[in-house]
Amino acid sequence: MSATRSFSSAGRFTRGYDPAEVDEFFQAARAAYEREPGAEPLRAADVRRAAFHQVRGGYVTQEVDLALDRLETAFVRQERAENVAAKGQNDWLAMVADRATTLYGRLIRPRGKRFRQANGRGYRISEVDDFLDRLSTFFEDGGEMTADEVRYQTFSSARGKDAYDEGVVDAFLARAIEVLTAVE
């Protein structure tokens, strides 16, 4: 990355991701991806967990988030190519299938019982359950679903008995994204 700004500015009075943190992360990611000598190793999961402070005049968050999504996909593809080259396609598929089985427990639970209820605000249970039904169809019958559909899925806010805890749902969806990205 150059010394110039890598992403658009959110504006002088608008908060966005800290440019120094973002640029440092993307420079390190490029070095890791290109296997530069001395570069710290980085994996797709590390990209998925990347977080940046927000500051006035920072980078537009949506632009950075989309770049992170593309970067995560690139690392997954690199990991898949390396694994297939070293151990074969069947090993990769077995590993992905093993990760997918961690999702089944939630998918087979009854609607309204798939996650713990929110303590306060959370995601509307009916919407999450509808989406998980679609995800279940994908795994069971080969329906259509992409990692981006999961990544960009939104749910309405609800309270108490009508809401699932957001953190637990988000963690589950992150694993689903990992599995779907691995097979795309």
Cα–Cα distance between 178 and 174 in angstroms, integer? 6
pLDDT tens digits, one per residue of 106-131: 999 999 999 999 999 999 999 999 99
Same domain, 46 and 123: no
* 171 shares a domain with 104: yes
- Same domain (yes/no): 118, 72: no
pLDDT digits (tens, 9 = 90+) for 86-109: 988 888 888 888 888 888 899 999
Query: Number of folded domains in the chain?
Result: 2
Residues 110 and 172 in one domain: yes
Kindly give the pairing relationship between strand 163-164 and strand 121-124. Answer: antiparallel
**DSSP one-letter code for 37:** T
The Cα 85–Cα 46 span in angstroms is: 22
- Domain shared by 37 and 80, yes or no: yes
Give me the chain's average pLDDT, please: 89
Query: Crossing angle for the helix pair 19-33 and 61-87, nearest 10 degrees?
Result: 20
Q: Taking the model in full, what pTM does it have?
A: 0.72
Judgement on whether residues 77 and 102 belong to the same structural domain of the protein: no
Domain with 69, as residue range(s), is: 15-85
* 126 Cβ contact list (under 8 Å, min separation 6): 111, 162
In a domain, 177, yes or no: yes
- Please answer whether residues 164 and 118 qualify as being in contact, where contact means their C-beta atoms are separated by less than 8 angstroms: yes
Do 76 and 98 sit in the same domain of this protein? Answer: no
